């Protein structure tokens, strides 16, 4: 195994695992620390999915160091710390503190921070992050319920999170190619972490070619785009394996569980309802009051037709989210939804449901934990950053774990076509 990856949430891990698989690396993903019996003998990369994005920074550091220890024990020669392509974090962390800690276990030196993913509309220019051409601080991410992003300049954002000096490798250098990138990294003795501009896939491939020797790389899934070819050229892996276009999935019923309140997921919910998919909206205030509960939802599930998917969702507009947070507290408003959807998901396999779409990073983590899924193989890409996956053990389920911000409006409708 050449590459060990630590992701700060489940859908981010899946996004990264898809990128590595699509580019030819044999990749497996684990939900939390991998089970002792996980076979990595024929694996090029292992991605460990944590749930550390919004927990206290000290806890995120400990979880990440535990994951790094496991990966290095399993033979990983390089580490990659993966976070969201919109750099979701607060001034208290967690990207800076985790990066500092991982630099410590990889021998110090320097690293980069590059959340860029052009296929999903995430680009960096002169240190400023853009979402579909809109500055991050003006995008819908400014209203994120847990990590509102109010500053587009990632040099400033990251510098507020770390004692290490943060620099910038700007567009002109990246556009000049791998050699120019490498020279800057080798000659700059002042900075320890570099925000790296990139606006297209060619830039990401140059970054991979120039910096694949680094013991630690940090960023979004896009930063991994150039690594497989670079590892092949360096003789670190023997071959690249073509990605599958379809995935065999266990036969059974279909369901969609959406806990994200992002603009993308709200649009996907509207499209699914307009297409006639049976839907049930849950409300954190009603959950907290005991009005909505797993038994009630499962009774509704049992009344749905078996030949089409259903949708259970909590997605709502920012103003409604704020009302729930003001009453319940920021964290509890999300936790009650996650617990309810997790309880529903845990009951679905026994009812014959084997094909599930889950929207939202926190929701995906809750669902996978409730199902007891320990590791996943990576299947075909549905939309940029979102593949189908399949559990490596019981319960045998196919899962599409979607970041709230990802996917086209018809995602909930078209995803099933990639399964056989």
Please give the domain boundaries of the chain with CATH numbers for all domains: 3-233 (3.40.50.10840), 253-418 (3.40.980.20)
Over its length of 420 residues, how does the chain's per-residue pLDDT go in tens digits? Answer: 899 999 999 889 999 999 999 999 999 999 999 988 888 888 999 999 999 998 999 999 999 999 999 999 999 999 999 999 999 999 988 999 999 999 999 988 999 999 999 998 999 999 999 999 999 999 989 988 888 999 999 999 999 999 999 999 999 999 999 999 999 999 998 999 999 999 999 999 999 999 999 999 999 999 999 999 999 999 999 999 888 889 999 999 999 999 998 889 999 999 999 999 999 999 999 999 999 999 999 999 999 999 999 999 998 888 888 888 888 987 788 899 999 999 999 999 999 999 999 999 889 989 999 999 999 999 999 998 899 999 998 999 999 999 888 899 999 999 999 999
Q: What is the dihedral of CA 177, 183, 189, 193, to 10 degrees?
A: 30
Q: Which of 261, 247, 243, 245 is nearest to 355 (CA)?
A: 247
Q: Are 52 and 89 in contact (CB under 8 A)?
A: no
Peptide bond between residue 94 and the one before it cis (omega within 30 degrees of 0)? yes
Query: What does pTM read for this prediction?
Result: 0.86
Q: Measuring CA to CA, how many Å separate 371 from each of 86, 190, 270, 282? A: 28, 47, 27, 20
Q: Are 204 and 185 in contact (CB under 8 A)?
A: no
Our CA angle for 167, 98, 336, nearest 5°, is: 125
Q: Enumerate the β-bridge partners of residue 310.
A: 255
């Amino acid at each position: 195994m050449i590459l060990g990856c630590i992701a700060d949430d489940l859908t981010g891990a899946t996004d990264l695992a898809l990128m590595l698989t699509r580019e030819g690396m044999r990749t497996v993903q684990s939900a939390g620390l991998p089970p002792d019996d996980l076979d990595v003998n024929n694996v090029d990369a292992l991605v460990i999915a944590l749930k550390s994005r919004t927990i206290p920074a000290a806890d995120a550091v400990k979880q990440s160091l535990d994951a790094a220890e496991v990966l290095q024990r399993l033979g990983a020669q390089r580490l990659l710390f993966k976070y969201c392509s919109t750099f979701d974090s607060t001034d208290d962390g967690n990207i800076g503190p985790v990066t500092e800690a991982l630099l410590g276990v990889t021998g110090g030196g320097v690293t980069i921070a590059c959340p860029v993913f052009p296929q999903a509309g995430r680009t960096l220019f002169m240190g400023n992050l853009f979402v579909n051409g809109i500055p991050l601080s003006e995008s819908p991410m400014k209203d994120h319920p847990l990590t509102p992003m109010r500053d587009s300049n990632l040099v400033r954002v990251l510098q507020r999170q770390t004692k290490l000096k943060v620099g910038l490798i700007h567009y002109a250098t990246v556009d000049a190619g791998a050699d120019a990138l490498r020279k800057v990294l080798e000659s700059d003795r002042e900075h320890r972490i570099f925000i790296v501009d990139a606006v297209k896939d060619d830039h990401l491939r140059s970054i991979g070619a120039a910096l694949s020797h680094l013991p630690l790389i940090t960023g979004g899934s896009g930063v991994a785009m150039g690594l497989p070819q670079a590892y092949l050229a360096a003789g670190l892996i023997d071959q690249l394996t073509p990605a599958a276009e379809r995935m065999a999935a266990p036969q059974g019923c279909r369901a969609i569980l959406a806990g994200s309140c992002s603009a993308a997921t709200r649009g996907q919910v509207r499209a699914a309802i307009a297409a006639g998919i049976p839907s049930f909206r849950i409300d954190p205030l009603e959950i907290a009051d005991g009005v909505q509960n797993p038994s009630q939802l499962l009774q509704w599930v049992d009344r749905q037709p078996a030949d089409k998917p259903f949708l259970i969702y909590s997605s709502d507009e920012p103003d409604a989210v704020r009302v729930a947070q003001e009453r319940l507290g920021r964290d509890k408003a999300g936790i009650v939804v996650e617990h309810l959807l997790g309880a529903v998901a845990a009951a679905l396999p026994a009812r014959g449901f084997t094909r599930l779409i889950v929207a939202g990073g926190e929701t995906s983590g809750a669902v996978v934990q409730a199902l007891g899924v320990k590791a996943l193989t990576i299947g075909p890409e549905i939309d940029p950053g979102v593949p189908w996956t399949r559990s490596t053990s019981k319960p045998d389920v196919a899962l599409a774990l979607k970041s709230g911000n990802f996917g086209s409006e018809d995602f909930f409708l078209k995803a099933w076509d990639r399964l056989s």
